[in-house]
Amino acid sequence: MTLPLLRLENVDKVFVKKTMMGKKSYIHAVRGITLDIQRGEALGIVGESGCGKSTLASLIIRLETLTRGKIILDGTDVTSLKEKDLRPLRRFVQIVFQDPYSSLSPRMTVEEILTEPLKIMTKLSKAEMHAKVTALLELVGMNASCLDRYPHEFSGGQRQRISIARALTTEPEILILDEPTSALDVSVQAQVLNLLNDLRQKLHLTYIFISHNLAVVKYISDRTAVMYAGQIVELGPSEKIMLEPLHPYTRELIAALPAVGKKLKPLTKAADMTENVAQERGCPYQNRCPLVDLRCKSERPPLAQFEPGHFLACWGVTKS
């Protein structure tokens, strides 16, 4: 068995908030996540707003510190690295955010945006940097004429291409894509998804692809992890998750998928993380589940292998 490129072991994140009255409230945003990601794999993470997807991404790139657990990157435990020692991690793992409007500085030209990480992380000369960013722009379907222009001069899809080029400047092994297409029109989404698939093949990248939309996740990912209230409730091959979902929540997500060409509507009730902290006992999905029974109210189901390669956290689905 080859060593995974990225291993998460029992990763937890609890945010502590102070209320107006000085009381503390706790949000258990990520709960006991254990996951291996192999080199070259594309893992999709899907779940509704507030389920902890971006928090998990922030923990992996150490923008947030873990409350519990371990993150092992290419065999090295990076859980407790100090800020000054994080540079290799930042080079190795890059992230592309949902909103290319706010993630690109409006006062910098495209060339400045793309060379900034190179100045920090490499010793390339000016000419080498220019050649590199020109090649990167071509790789994402743009050209050198864009270099001296500002982000506002581009469409949403073009800006997202620039964001992807920026993430690639440091030659990362892992790209975390946090809703990279959900701010874009449906037709532009497809172009950016195709670009991401091409780049993965060409550059042998490993993807963690985050989305609300299971259909989009399936298009990009080999395996899909379905998150609910901070934990993974189902994990398996993307095709299987889409065609033969087992967890009642995954089934709910699939039922909410829009018709082809339409945008995904939010589910009626977003997971209330504060409520889930109070509801430590039992399955986090119990209040919405059509299969709920007494055991679901008292014992939290662990993520366990249901069949080879397919994992499930549910008491109510049994093998027939």
Ligand X SMILES: Nc1ncnc2c1ncn2[C@@H]1O[C@H](COP(=O)(O)OP(=O)(O)OP(=O)(O)O)[C@@H](O)[C@H]1O
Residues found near ligand X in the complex (CB under 6 A): 15, 17, 27, 29, 47, 49-55, 212, 273
Which amino acid type is present at position 249? Y
151 binds, among ligand SF4, Mg ion, ligand X, none (CB under 5 to 8 A by kind): none
248, 252, 253, 271: which one binds ligand SF4 (CB under 6 A): 248
Q: Does 253 bind ligand SF4 (CB under 6 A)?
A: no
The CB-of-55 to ligand X minimum distance in angstroms stands at 3
Nearer to ligand X, 51 or 312 (CB): 51
Q: Which of 272, 287, 267, 284 is nearest to 48 (CA)?
A: 267
Helices (H) and strands (E) in the chain, counts: 12, 12
- The residue count for binding ligand SF4 (CB under 6 A) is 12
55 binds, among Mg ion, ligand SF4, ligand X, none (CB under 5 to 8 A by kind): ligand X
Nearer to ligand X, 169 or 189 (CB): 189
Phi, psi of 60 (to 5 degrees): -65, -40
- CB count in 10 Å sphere of residue 244: 11
Closest residue to ligand SF4, judged by C-beta, is 316
Q: Does 47 bind ligand SF4 (CB under 6 A)?
A: no
The CA-CA-CA angle for residues 173, 199, 124, to 5°, reads 60
316 binds, among Mg ion, ligand X, ligand SF4, none (CB under 5 to 8 A by kind): ligand SF4
Q: What is the DSSP letter of 289?
A: -
Q: Which of 224, 110, 206 is nearest to 158 (CA)?
A: 110
- CB count in 10 Å sphere of residue 234: 28
Q: Which of 258, 264, 252 is nearest to 291 (CA)?
A: 252
CA 45, CA 218: separation in Å to the nearest integer? 10
Q: Does 285 bind ligand SF4 (CB under 6 A)?
A: yes
Q: Does 231 bind Mg ion (CB under 5 A)?
A: no
- String marking each residue 22-61 x if it binds Mg ion according to CB under 5 A: --------------------------------x-------
Q: Does 292 bind ligand SF4 (CB under 6 A)?
A: yes
CA 218, CA 55: separation in Å to the nearest integer? 21
Strand-pairing partners, residue 304, are 312
- String marking each residue 177-216 x if it binds ligand SF4 according to CB under 6 A: ----------------------------------------
CA 183, CA 188: separation in Å to the nearest integer? 10
The CB-of-178 to Mg ion minimum distance in angstroms stands at 6
Q: Which of 238, 261, 35 is nearest to 253 (CA)?
A: 238
Nearer to Mg ion, 51 or 168 (CB): 51
248 binds, among ligand X, ligand SF4, Mg ion, none (CB under 5 to 8 A by kind): ligand SF4
CA 136, CA 146: separation in Å to the nearest integer? 12
Residues that bind ligand SF4 in the complex, under the rule CB under 6 A: 248, 283, 285-286, 289, 291-292, 296, 301, 314-316
